[in-house]
Structure 1
Amino acid sequence: MPKGSHRSFAAYSAMVGEADARGRRQLINGPLAYLSQVLVDRTLIGGGTLVLERCYDPAQTLATIEAERITDMFLVEPQLFEIMDHPDVRRRDLSSLRSLAHIGGSSPAILRRRAIARLGPVLTHMYGASEAGLVSALPAASYGTAPELLASAGRVRPGAEVRFRLANGTLARTGQHGKIEVRSRAVAQGYYNQAVESAQKFQDGWCLTGDIGFLDEAGNLHVLGRATDVAEVDGRAIGPTSIEEVLCELPDVRYAAAFAANADANEHGWIAAVEPWDGKRVGVAQCVRALEAALGVFIGNAVRICVVERLPLTEQGKVDRAAISSLGLAPCDMHFRELAE
């Protein structure tokens, strides 16, 4: 079911009516979810060309880029990582592609580097939500000139304000991480017929995203993950990307996804689903040793490893948390706080 966030016609028109899309050939492959609908309208209103596919398929997507000379497209991260590792990447002409936007999940720097190596300097990483609109973007040009930014979601877009709230309710200073709050013309006005949820999510013109992040000294936004997926360990904020980065550096691991093992990572640690390359094997002990070496023994003990043949995905292409959680993994033997003691 859709979330039901709503805006005035004027606010939505401002989101989609300002772009010059002449020369743009936008591929949309799948249901018109929030961002896809915005891209459809921006492309058509701006004078560009739209290519619609009924569903996502990696081989068909690569074939369509070649056949239709696609210049711009959008994928959620698991789809991006599937596309970049598909064998057809080597035989398809992708030279028309100038921007491949990815959003909707964590994207470790090591996987972004692999995507650039396979697809060229075309990645555009965006952070946003259906309620908050588009908040920040790291354009393809920045990927090439400043590779150290691969861990960030880029600069906050003009017209958007971002602040971070600490656990004690006060606002964070630059460099401190906290819950991300956003205010802009693109922020929704509430949830349709959901008064309680609207009051919790939208306050005094600000959208409370529920994500944890911070701004670095250069003004780049770093998103650590959902608040429930981020834990404080010895003064450090450890989120899914920190764990995924370590696991994806293992030579036999193609992809990994981590999230809180229960309602809160501070209480129960994380589950990490690991997908090996075809024909390769990955051992749980091997993954734990890597996490201990990189992040400490405490983190290694707090992550439950699940090796899967393929990471299950939702119909939107995102990692299917419920399916992974149902694979028989129990929560950590001891509560996260008990491990700390």
Structure 2
Amino acid sequence: MDRTAAESACPNYVMRILDSLASRPDEVVVKWRDQSITAGEFVRSTVAATRRMQELGIDRTHTVAALSASNSPTIIYTRYAAHLLGARLVHILSVNANSAAESLAESQQVDILNEVSATLLAVDVESLDVARRLRDAVKGPLKLATYGSDGAPVDADLSAGDTNDDGLPEPRPIVEGDTATIIYTSGTTGKPKGICRSYGSWHRETVGAMNQVKSMNLGPSGYLVTIPLSNAGISVDSVLAHEGVVLLHEQFDAGRVLETIERERVGGTFWATQHLYQILDHPRLNDVDTSSLRLVMYGGTPISPARIERAVERFGLIFVQYYGTTESRRISALTPADHRDKNLLASAGRPIPTVQVVIRDPETGADLDANVPGEVCVRTPGMMTEYFLDPVRTEKALRDGWFHTGDIGYFDDAGYLYLVDRLYHVVKTDGIKIYPAEIERVLLLHPAVTRASVIKVRDADLRDSICAYVQPRAAHGDLTSEELAEFVAEKMSPLHVPAVIELVSDLATTQFGKADAQALRQMRGA
């Protein structure tokens, strides 16, 4: 990676957060497992980690890797300490925004550590055995630092402080173009790809989110985090910078989430689409007091309009749907007010004010008119700078200052964005472009369907076709493939009817709750 980025100074967002925390040292600001961490304790932990890293020589030329129990507060301390020193930060636990469950095999974690030439691996004691195996497996020297110790020697104890650790550290000068984070995502090939975001990008998006939280006047209510901190970081930063309490769950559990909302008077959270479904289907939903909720963000995968309509009926106009990518961050939003109009529930909302969005012909690059599908291309404050060590992929995705999302969508006459499918999912039939995701959304409109996955498969003769896998609702065991074929033909056209519609009792999913397209293709031998 080119380390001769523009030497322009950039403010350090971490100091803004620490300054806020230092002004209210006795208030509880983080809860995790059985721990209640005050603002003063949080600051002292961050300062101690920063000083220990500084003693190890960490600066802007180094990469710090974080590995801790799922959504442990030590992950936040590590990021803040690394960013106070101008270093790069990489998470090597989870690679998916919708799940806090561990998803990377140790071999993949070793590959990432080698790829980024990590200098320091910061871990909690719970992860120490894994960390030692990783250190022994990497090619280059890797220092190991822990929060606490099991008695065995390590290079540093990041939690070891002294009486002087009460004061805030003097942050290193931050360079606008330096890489702040490398976030690995699973993508579609199975090999994690590293997405780089600069300090300037991180700072702009973080400050924007802080101002947004301040304008919402959420007050000291709790913000519940059930997705990985590697993806929820900016929301956490925004809450810590103001009056809120961050409630950290290691993974999503609908029953525990509902119980926590009632007990802690949670004011805000994010639910991936499948999480929202689990909440709506939970048997105790109507027995729990959720009146404290004032903001629920959701997204990640397409949602059934009927399901979000049901959610609004149950919780009120508190929902914001965000469409975005790891590379670009948030692109558009469907606001709480938009949820009043049932006709808008299938849309991805309007572009966020700080974001530019155009729809372009994927073949010619020409801008397209309203209601004409094309590739969604964006410019955002939080946009990535590159794919790590992958100039070919970077050049394809970033052209003339625009990020090409690979999503097909269109604007309606009122400026609302509708997503159709991924560019590489398109199937051409009799000269017509067929988008599997559109068929999937139509199938979800059928009252007897609870889940559906529509995929493109290619046979030995390189012919593409559409196959649908549908999970009926329990009360509709008499649903037939023929009925669904007629439904799709009526709602769309006969050309849109999948070549195969298979009813399944339990739709194959990944550990992230998404339909496992790869497993479904293997079922068809494609």
* Residue 234 of structure 1, CA deviation: 7.7
In structure 1, stretches of 5+ residues that fail to align are 332-341
AA paired with 2:353? Answer: P
| 1:249 to 1:7, Cα distance in 2 relative to 1, 3 A | closer
Aligned residue number for residue 359 of structure 2:
164
Equivalent pair of 1:123/1:139 in contact (CA under 8 Å): yes
Q: CA deviation at 1:236?
A: 6.9
Say if 2:427 and 2:464, in contact at 8 Å, map to a contact too: no
Which residue of the other structure, out of 282, 291, 294, is the alignment partner of 2:491?
A: 294
Which residue of 1 is the match for residue 115 of structure 2? none
Alignment partner of 1:148 out of 329, 343, 366: 343
1:73 to 1:208, Cα distance in 2 relative to 1, 3 A:
same
User: What corresponds to 1:137 in structure 2?
Assistant: 333
- Residue of 108, 111, 120 corresponding to 2:316: 120
Between 1:109-118 and 1:70-79, the stretch displaced more is 109-118
Conserved in 1, the CA contact under 8 Å of 2:302 and 2:441? no
**Structure 1 residues 157 and 147, CA gap change in structure 2 (3 angstroms):** same
Confirm or deny: 8 A CA contact 2:304 2:445 kept in the other structure. no
Distance in 2 of aligned mates of 1:240 and 1:58: 29
Q: Alpha-carbon deviation of 1:283?
A: 2.1
- Alignment correspondent of 2:116: none
2:465 aligned residue = 269
Structure 1 residues 319 and 176 mapped into 2: Cα distance closer, same or farther (>3 Å)?
A: same
Residue 95 (structure 1) aligns with: 291
Say if 2:387 is the partner of 1:191.
yes
CA–CA distance in 1 between the matches of 2:471 and 2:392?
39
Counterpart residue number, 2:402: 206
Distance in 2 between residues matched to 1:329 and 1:112, nearest whole Å: 32
Which residue does the alignment assign to 2:456? 260
Alignment partner of 1:16 is 2:206: yes
Residues 55-100 of structure 1: per-residue CA shift (max 9 Å, x gap) = 1122222222222222211122122222212222121111112222
Q: How does 1:1-341 map to 2 (within 5 A)?
A: 2=184, 3-18=193-208, 19-20=210-211, 21=213, 22-23=218-219, 24-34=221-231, 36-144=232-340, 146-169=341-364, 170-231=366-427, 238-262=434-458, 268-281=464-477, 282-300=479-497, 302-326=498-522, 328-329=523-524
- The alignment-based identity, stated in percent, is 29
The residue type paired with residue 9 of structure 1 is Y
Secondary structure of the 2:229 match is coil
Contact 2:420 2:437 in 1 (8 A): yes
Counterpart amino acid of residue 363 in structure 2: N
Say how many residue pairs are matched: 325
Letter in 2 for 1:286: E
Distance 1:88 1:16, change over 3 A: same
Residue type matched to 2:355 in 1?
A
Is the contact between residue 338 and residue 344 of structure 2 (CA under 8 Å) also seen in structure 1?
yes
Task: Give me the whole-angstrom Cα distance separating, in 1, the residues matched to 2:388 and 2:298.
Answer: 27
Q: What displacement does 1:17 show? A: 2.0
Structure 1 distance, partners of 2:291, 2:429, is: 45
Q: After TM superposition, what 4+ stretches of structure 1 lie above 4 angstroms from structure 2?
A: 231-238
1:134 CA drift (Å): 0.5
Structure 1 residues 233 and 69: alpha-carbon distance in aligned structure 2, compared to 1, 3 A threshold: farther
Q: 1:290 to 1:92 in 2, by over 3 A?
A: same
* One-letter amino acid of the structure 2 residue matched with residue 242 of structure 1: E
8 Å Cα contact 2:427-2:456 kept in structure 1: no
Unaligned runs of 5+ in 2: 1-94, 96-183, 185-192
**Which whole-Å deviations, capped at 9, do the CAs of 1:156-180 have from their partners, x for residues lacking one?**
0112111122143122123321011
**Alignment partner, residue 339 of structure 1:** none
| 1:245-298 Cα distance to aligned partner (Å, 9 max, x none) | 3322333222223232349xx962333221222353132222112112222222
How many angstroms apart in 1 are the aligned matches of 2:242 and 2:337?
A: 22
Q: 1:223 to 1:85 in 2, by over 3 A?
A: same
Q: Distance in 2 between matches of 1:232 and 1:139?
A: 35
Partner of 1:42, secondary structure, is helix
Partner of 1:261: helix, strand, or coil?
strand
Q: Secondary structure at the match of 2:345?
A: helix
Q: 8 Å contact 1:78–1:319 — kept in the other structure? A: no
Larger radius of gyration: 2
Indicate the residue corresponding to 2:128 in structure 1: none
Question: 1:219 offset after TM fit, Å?
Answer: 1.1
C-alpha contact (below 8 Å) 2:421/2:438 kept by paired residues:
no
Q: How far apart, CA to CA, are the structure 1 residues paired with 2:321 and 2:245? A: 22
- Matches of 1:39 and 1:306 in 2, distance apart? 40
Q: Is the 8 A contact 2:273 2:303 kept in 1?
A: yes
Q: Judge conservation of contact 1:261–1:269 (CA < 8 Å) in 2.
A: yes
Separation of aligned partners in 1, 2:438 and 2:274: 17
Q: Distance between the aligned counterparts of 1:191 and 1:306, measured in 2?
A: 38
The letter for the 1-side match of 2:357 is V
Distance verdict in 2 for CA 1:249–1:157, change over 3 Å:
closer
| Matches of 1:100 and 1:311, distance apart in 2 | 27
Distance 1:325 1:90 in 2: 39
Q: TM-score, normalised by structure 2?
A: 0.57
Inter-CA distance 137–215: structure 2 relative to 1 (3 Å threshold): same
8 Å CA contact retained: 1:125, 1:154:
yes
CA distance in structure 2 between the aligned counterparts of 1:183 and 1:49, rounded to whole angstroms: 32
1:64 counterpart letter in structure 2: T
